[in-house]
Amino acid sequence: MAIKLQKENEERLLGSLQRFFSAQMDEDIGTLKAKLLLDFCLREIGPSIYNQAIADAQSQLQDRVAELDIACHEEEFSYWKK
């Protein structure tokens, strides 16, 4: 599954990459270089981050489902116990 960013987020990330290179590498890069780097990161690193996020979400959901019987349990045949 290809990772697609919303246009606004992509523009902010491009600006962030340009700022990073200027501040940390003492090199100004243009929009084209920043876009190429962002595309590389999304294709090469993005899937690993995405897969880990899905695994984390799945783990959280499994934990909640495991507790469902406790959270939603109702005592049966309790009329005569009053």
Can you give the pLDDT of all 82 residues of the chain as single tens digits? 778 999 999 999 999 999 999 999 999 999 999 999 999 999 999 999 999 999 999 999 999 999 888 888 888 888 888 6
Q: Is residue 2 part of a domain?
A: no
Q: In the numeric block, which tokens belong to residue 20?
A: 């990073």
- For residue 67, being part of any structural domain is answered with no
3-state helix vs strand vs coil in the chain, percent to 5: 75, 0, 25
Total domain count for the chain?
1
Residues 16 and 29: their CA atoms lie apart, in Å, by 11
What residue numbers bound the domain in which 35 lies?
A: 9-43
